Amino acid sequence: MTLESLNIAIALPEIFLLAMACLILVVDVYLPAERRNFTYVLTQLSLIIALVLLLGNQTDTRVLAFNDLFVQDPMADALKLFIVIISFGIFVYSREYLQARNIFKGEFYVLGLFSIVGMMLMVSANNLLMLYLGLELLSLCLYALVAFNRDDGNASEAAMKYFVLGAIASGMLLYGMSILYGLSGSLQLSEIADSVMQASQADNAQNIGMIFALVFIVVALAFKLGAVPFHMWMPDVYHGSPTAVTALIGTAPKLAGFAMIMRLLVEALGGLQADWQQMIIVLAVLSLAVGNIVAIAQTNIKRMLAYSTISHVGFILLGILAGTAEGYSSAMFYTISYAMMSLGGFGIIMLMARQGFEADNIDDLKGLNQRSPWFAFIMMILMLSMAGVPPTVGFWAKLAVLTAVVNVDLVWMAIIAVFFSIIGIFYYLRIIKVMYFDDATETQPLECGRDMQITLSANGLAILALGFYPAALMSLCISVFN
């Protein structure tokens, strides 16, 4: 192994963030409680530098590093950019929320940075081992963050459920990967793809083993994404976690999950496309149905957003189901759009929360327009976009996925998706109704720091701008797969 084969330069953002996470861990030990804000500033500065490194290291080709364990390609570059940007927003939104609950600690930012490194490794994995290590680095950080508020019994319960079900999913994924390794003799995704193609053409016992491995992998992926019927953990974890942690779980990891599906199902197991498409059809239909129908009955906004996420996962799976470059680019467009919308939604919830009060019930948003017309407007844009109402970015994302599905003659799937999307509009409009037509239970205006005002406004305006000019993001997603 030589320095040339390592090709360290393309992994500089990951190496830098890893080093900064270790540095912040050490620095935070010696900081007095009143200077804890320095940890926050150092974390955000690290993300800004990582973003600069990513922007300065873009590529139009496929570059390998660390003896082909690590890959840089246009998909990895694009997803990493949005992972860092969204994580920056999460840390801005969470600062005042954590301070109000006396859990403004350096461990939150250290675990957050390690989880970002895990996501970036998943996005750039070219090897089963690298993919699994990235996933576990992300998962272990999230398990700890869910239980971050030790005085909250709901958080401890949610952490236990998340850990147990997450460990089962990780075990199933590892078992599926071990079968693939046993049948192909390699951990490299490209070599596994060759073995799968040969086995599928031979139609022998090896092909049956590959399908057996595929079942375990698809089930594990469905667990991690929260697709029905493997969604049991999601509502409880969203509800029980501190909202700052819920925002982290519900946004950037979805981008890493999309990358994991692309690396495993499309790159490594593309020869079994006809088999995994049948599984994804079931997962997508059930996710769309259960997510949209059950969300109507929720009074807790975090549980509602959990079931909303399940329905959005169904749409993402529809794009992947298409099995074409158009389908993959539409799924990527949808995933990025959803992550940005979800980030803004959790930002508003954290904005309304204060010491001793969690604004996690829908009725807590009553009369928001009377207290802050600007933030009520942003929340309205976010809800309309999640509902897929034109001309928001959510509408264009849904339209892109539906077009890709129709173009591969799966019209019936598009009809089912439209039907459940119409049902889903109800619970988004209910939030708008509560904000604009119900009387406020409190009269004092909302107050927050300037950094949160600017970031939340930028978040909302970005969603609005992408609605009027979706080509800016869609062209990026199309270029990734062309």
Predicted confidence (pLDDT) per residue in 126-176, tens digit:
999 999 999 999 999 999 999 888 777 788 888 898 999 999 999 999 999
Q: Does residue 279 carry a pLDDT above 80?
A: yes
d(CA 443, CA 457): 22
Q: Does residue 33 carry a pLDDT above 80?
A: no
- Find out whether 146 and 130 touch, Cβ atoms under 8 Å: no
Close Cβ partners of 268 (under 8 Å, ≥ 6 residues apart): 128, 180, 189, 192, 193, 196
R_g of the chain, CA atoms, integer Å: 22
| Per-residue pLDDT, 170 | 92
Q: Summarize pLDDT for 205-228 with one digit per residue, the tens.
A: 677 888 889 999 999 999 999 998
Confidence of residue 456 (pLDDT cuts 50, 70, 90): very high
Tell me the two tokens of residue 229: 């019927």
> Is the model more confident about 2 or about 281?
281
Q: What is the average pLDDT across 31-48?
A: 87
Q: Structurally, how many domains does the chain consist of?
A: 1
Confidence of residue 203 (pLDDT cuts 50, 70, 90): low
| Per-residue pLDDT, 272 | 87
Full residue range of the structural domain in which residue 174 is found = 3-481
Q: Does residue 81 carry a pLDDT above 90?
A: yes
Which sign, positive or negative, has the C-alpha torsion 406, 407, 410, 411? positive
Q: C-alpha angle 320/326/331, rounded to 5°?
A: 40
| Per-residue pLDDT, 204 | 67
Q: Does residue 424 carry a pLDDT above 70?
A: yes
Q: Summarize pLDDT for 313-349 with one digit per residue, the tens.
A: 999 999 999 989 999 999 999 999 999 999 999 999 9
Q: Does residue 2 carry a pLDDT above 60?
A: no
Q: Does residue 117 carry a pLDDT above 80?
A: yes
| Per-residue pLDDT, 156 | 85
pLDDT averaged over every residue in the chain: 89
- Find out whether 17 and 115 touch, Cβ atoms under 8 Å: no
Q: Does residue 101 carry a pLDDT above 90?
A: no
| Per-residue pLDDT, 145 | 92
Q: What is the average pLDDT across 350-356?
A: 76
| Per-residue pLDDT, 67 | 82
Q: What is the average pLDDT across 441-463?
A: 85
Q: Does residue 445 carry a pLDDT above 90?
A: no
> Is the model more confident about 260 or about 57?
260
Give percent of the chain above pLDDT 70: 97
Q: C-alpha angle 245/86/288, rounded to 5°?
A: 75
CA distances to 26, 64, 82, 185, 302 from 70, in Å: 28, 6, 19, 19, 36
Burial class (CB in 10 A: 0-12, 13-18, 19+), 204: exposed
Q: Does residue 5 carry a pLDDT above 60?
A: no
Classify each residue of 439-472 as buried b or exposed e, where b means 16 or more C-beta atoms within 10 Å of its C-beta: eeeeeeebebeeebbebbeebbebbbebbeebee
| Per-residue pLDDT, 321 | 92
Q: Does residue 1 carry a pLDDT above 60?
A: no
Close Cβ partners of 30 (under 8 Å, ≥ 6 residues apart): none
> Is the model more confident about 355 or about 357?
357
| Per-residue pLDDT, 202 | 67
| Per-residue pLDDT, 221 | 93
| Per-residue pLDDT, 442 | 75
| Per-residue pLDDT, 132 | 94
> Is the model more confident about 356 or about 12?
12
| Per-residue pLDDT, 257 | 94
Chain-centroid distance, C-alpha 432: 25
Give percent of the chain above pLDDT 90: 60
Q: Summarize pLDDT for 286-318 with one digit per residue, the tens.
A: 999 999 999 999 888 999 999 999 999 999 999
| Per-residue pLDDT, 4 | 57
- For residue 283, give the amino acid letter: L
Q: What is the average pLDDT across 169-192?
A: 91
Q: What is the average pLDDT across 76-100?
A: 92
| Per-residue pLDDT, 110 | 93
Q: Does residue 413 carry a pLDDT above 60?
A: yes
> Is the model more confident about 264 or about 354?
264
> Is the model more confident about 196 or about 254?
254
Nearest one of 1, 46, 51, 39 to 19, comparing CA atoms = 46
Nearest one of 302, 297, 177, 289 to 238, comparing CA atoms = 302
